């Protein structure tokens, strides 16, 4: 999925997250037509999905559909259909391309470490004095959304290069891992294994 679309979805998700209540993910067998099923605030991931080279279950696709449900109530029931698997990014040798990037400590948490529980954005104070986002973690709780400078490896890779550059492929991967970081830390292991995009960003960079 294009990076710009990912950002739009996450902005919608952050907007929704300001509302009370946060769904809880667990896993159970469902019809092979569906990736997930919503029952009130309980979101079940299909533990027996129709995996193939062309189809797979993506948390981003589920979140996109979830945001389009007009109103979530205790009796809301919705089934998320299986969608074609987006083609992976093809950097085509872009690992040899570099961008300027210098790790900035001021963009990290003033107190605590990620995943940091929160209730409001003000709980996510950065050293610079600004506030981050308090976002839903899909385990019924809310967490501060990390900045790229919070992601393990960014500081080391930035400082390892005397000219403050980073491989383009790595920078894009880190930027996307920011959006999945909390999910990869708090979701049940079954969900991480079943949702191919979460599994991708739970591993080390390419």
Examine residue 123 and state whether it is found in any structural domain, yes or no: yes
Examine residue 75 and state whether it is found in any structural domain, yes or no: yes
pLDDT at 113 over 70: yes
Phi-psi region of 24 (alpha: psi -120 to 50; beta: other; left: phi over 0): beta
Are 32 and 117 members of one domain? no
Of 83-87, 168-172, 173-177, the poorest mean pLDDT is in 83-87
Are 106 and 153 members of one domain? yes
Examine residue 154 and state whether it is found in any structural domain, yes or no: yes
Are 106 and 168 members of one domain? yes
Examine residue 60 and state whether it is found in any structural domain, yes or no: yes
pLDDT at 123 over 90: yes
d(CA 12, CA 78): 19
- Residue length, the chain? 206
Q: pLDDT digit string (tens) for 34-52?
A: 889 999 889 999 998 766 6
pLDDT at 96: 61
What domain range is 123 assigned to? 94-187
Examine residue 206 and state whether it is found in any structural domain, yes or no: no
């Amino acid at each position: 999925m294009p990076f710009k679309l990912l950002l739009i979805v996450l902005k919608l998700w952050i907007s929704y997250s300001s509302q009370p209540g946060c769904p809880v993910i667990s896993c159970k067998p469902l019809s092979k037509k569906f990736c997930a099923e919503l029952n009130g605030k309980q979101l079940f991931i299909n533990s027996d999905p129709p995996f193939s080279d062309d189809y797979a279950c993506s948390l981003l696709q589920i979140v996109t559909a979830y945001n389009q449900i007009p109103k979530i109530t205790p009796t809301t029931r919705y089934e998320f259909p299986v969608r074609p698997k987006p083609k992976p990014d093809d950097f085509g040798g872009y690992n040899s391309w570099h961008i300027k990037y210098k790790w900035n400590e001021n963009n990290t948490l003033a107190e605590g470490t990620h995943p940091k529980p929160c209730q409001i954005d003000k709980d996510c104070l950065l050293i610079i004095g600004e506030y981050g986002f308090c976002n839903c973690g899909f385990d019924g709780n809310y967490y501060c959304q990390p900045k790229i400078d919070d992601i393990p490896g960014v500081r080391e890779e930035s400082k390892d290069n005397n000219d403050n550059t980073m491989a383009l492929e790595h920078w894009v991967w880190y930027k996307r891992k920011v959006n999945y970081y909390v999910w990869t830390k708090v979701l049940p292991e079954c969900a991480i294994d079943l949702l191919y995009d979460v599994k991708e960003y739970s591993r080390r960079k390419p």
